[in-house]
Amino acid sequence: MVTNNDISVTLGPVTFKNPVFIASGICGYGEEYSPLVPIEELGAVVTKTITVRSRLGNPPPRIHEVPTGALNSIGLENVGLEAYIRDKLPLLRDKRVGVIVSIAAEFEEEFVEVADKLAPLDGYKGLELNLSCPNVEEEALDHGRNPEFVERITRIVKERVPDRALLVKITPNVTDIGEVAKAAEAGGADGISAINTVVGVDFDLETGKPIFHRGSGGYSGPGILPIALQKVWEISRAVSIPIVGMGGISSVDDARKFFIAGATAIQVGTSLWVDPELTKNIIAALHEHPEYLGTGTAE
């Protein structure tokens, strides 16, 4: 029996009906996954990261399986801001789906442009700044390593979208993730999303070369769970704003561990490809056991 306890969560100015989201890059612009996942039942879908101009992305191969997960090298292929606003955002508007728009940019002016263009629109509840994509040429798209930049950009965007939840997604590929999280908090973020993929590589034994043209890729899936829990735990001791935890979740129990580590909400990624019922099962378990949410920070 499913009990309907209130499991809504609040991130800054916005409330989501439950704390279970799909991670950026997994379900496209949202609609693509609707044949398998009833997306209106989710707390939110985080859409594929968009940039001001469309991006072709990296040449294939783009996905590589390993026994503990997958490496990907998509390279932020996306339709660009204008086409997103025109063609993709309206698709979900009438469906009562919680949408969080993921954005990335190279320069401050581009962040300003994206925020200004999105600010007056409806059809989404939050923004997630992807400051942590490991799969692109441009160093500047990976500025999650620079705390001053993180703080400045967070402030600039938050000023423009004060009525939305602003999440800052940070990279695990830094020595002190707490520093970067603190910078986002100082800039006015409503929450920290962590983690993005872990940099990884695999080699083809026949050619002696990396599988991907770009060499390294982003590692995700069950194998990164302990790394993700560690990072969320560290962040929870560094900041007091909510954390949206992700990385390797493939079961209800995995999700529970993020709440123990200090997360307020979670995102499911790679494992959804394998188990399309995963978000549904986590939501059902939380309805039945809302106490899973309130376990707070483990010392």
Ligand X SMILES: Cc1cc2nc3c(=O)[nH]c(=O)nc-3n(C[C@H](O)[C@H](O)[C@H](O)COP(=O)(O)O)c2cc1C
Could you tell me the smallest distance in angstroms from the CB atom of residue 49 to ligand X? 3
Q: Which does 49 bind (CB under 5 to 8 A by kind): ligand X, another protein, none?
A: ligand X
By CB under 6 A, name the one of 7, 248, 278, 283 that touches ligand X.
248
In angstroms, how far is CA 140 from the centroid of its own chain? 19
Could you tell me the smallest distance in angstroms from the CB atom of residue 273 to ligand X? 8
CB atoms within 10 A of CB 206: 6
Residue type, 61: P
Nearer to ligand X (CB atom), residue 125 or residue 169: 169
Residue among 22, 44, 133, 177 flagged as catalytic: 133
CA distance 150 to 231: 17
CB atoms within 10 A of CB 6: 9
- Comparing every residue's Cβ against ligand X, the nearest one is 25
Could you tell me the smallest distance in angstroms from the CB atom of residue 104 to ligand X? 7
270 binds ligand X (CB under 6 A): yes
Query: Is 133 assigned a catalytic role?
Result: yes
Q: Which does 36 bind (CB under 5 to 8 A by kind): ligand X, another protein, none?
A: another protein
Closest listed residue to residue 72, CA positions, set 83, 91, 57, 84 = 57
Note the helical H segments in the chain: 81-83, 89-93, 108-118, 147-160, 177-186, 225-238, 252-261, 271-274, 278-288
Q: Which residues carry out catalysis?
A: 133
User: Footprint of ligand X on this chain (CB under 6 A)?
Assistant: 23-25, 48-49, 72, 74, 76, 102, 130, 133, 169, 196-197, 218, 220-221, 224, 246-249, 268-271
